[in-house]
């Protein structure tokens, strides 16, 4: 029995060392995105110009001696569409550098009503707790590897995409935690203005997203087939038409500075 116990101890020690090595390999230097990356998208509703969206990789945050990614997404409709439906939205996501854990997710915006949702991830107790416009909600159980919806976009970029690949990532928005399955279904050449992209076509399994989206919606993404694996096109179809976001401008800066104390970074639990 002692011999078996020693073998088991050695086995688990090797697993721990391997996991440490894998996480160490996921460094900021080798990631396909860097601080200061800014991606500008134009939005269309069918053939109608609808607005714009920006996805950014902001400066790394140092909290209690650890560094974290800070991603942001902002979206707004243009004045023409504001007449029918106004969107002014910002999402912020904070994750560890291996993109295996979200720490904080915030969503602020206007739609049918003004909302500000903050989701805090408690990795000691494996829960995610959201506060919706000042009202605390019931904690949601999460599993190791759980990310927020915005971090999922960057998590896909961290993988070396290949046709036929199927990825499965647990995701929560603070209401439900679901295992989202995405499949790389093909390669496609895209023409956006004067630029041509060789892309991977990524199809999320809509059944696995049923906890987040209403019935009848379909989502498809196109990632550039290069080292950066940029999300160059995103399409969301629903019964009344489709929204399409196309990458029209990229920007990279070495350093940026942004104050975001309203998120309450001191509220992290990890």
pLDDT greater than 80 at residue 130 = yes
d(CA 62, CA 133): 27
Specify the DSSP class assigned to residue 64.
T
Joined together, the tokens standing for residue 193 give 């203005």
156, 166 contact by CB (below 8 A): no
- Locate 76 and state its tokens: 């707004």
Beta bridge partners of 69: 95
What pTM, to 2 d.p., does this model score?
Answer: 0.80
pLDDT tens column, 229-239: 999 999 987 76
16-61 pLDDT tens trace:
323 333 333 445 667 899 999 999 999 998 888 889 999 999 999 9
Distance CA 227, CA 224 (A): 8
Q: List the beta bridge partners of residue 196.
A: 191
HSE of 221, CA atoms in CB hemisphere, 13 A: 20
């Amino acid at each position: 029995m002692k011999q078996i116990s020693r073998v088991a101890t050695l086995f688990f020690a090797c697993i721990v060392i391997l996991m440490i090595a894998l996480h160490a390999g996921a460094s900021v230097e080798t990631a396909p995105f860097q601080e200061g990356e800014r991606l500008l998208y134009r939005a269309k509703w069918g053939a109608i110009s609808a607005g714009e969206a920006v996805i950014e990789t902001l400066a790394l945050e140092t909290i209690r001696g650890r560094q974290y990614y800070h991603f942001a997404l902002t979206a707004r409709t243009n004045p023409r569409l504001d007449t029918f439906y106004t969107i002014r939205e910002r999402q912020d996501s904070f994750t560890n550098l291996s993109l295996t854990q979200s720490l904080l997710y915030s969503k602020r915006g206007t739609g049918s009503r003004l909302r500000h949702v903050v989701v805090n991830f408690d990795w000691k107790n494996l829960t995610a707790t959201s506060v919706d416009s000042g009202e605390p909600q019931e904690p949601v159980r999460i599993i190791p590897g759980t990310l927020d919806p915005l971090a999922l976009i960057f998590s896909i970029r961290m993988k070396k995409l290949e046709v036929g690949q199927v990825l499965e990532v647990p995701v929560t928005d603070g209401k439900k935690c679901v295992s989202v399955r995405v499949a790389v279904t093909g390669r496609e050449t895209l023409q956006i203005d004067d630029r041509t992209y060789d892309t991977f076509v990524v199809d999320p399994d809509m059944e696995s997203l049923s906890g987040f989206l209403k019935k009848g919606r379909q989502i498809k993404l196109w990632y550039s087939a290069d080292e950066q694996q940029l999300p160059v096109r995103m399409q969301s179809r629903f019964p009344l038409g489709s929204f399409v976001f196309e990458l029209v401008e990229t920007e990279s800066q070495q350093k940026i500075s942004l104050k975001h104390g309203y998120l309450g970074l001191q509220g992290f639990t990890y």
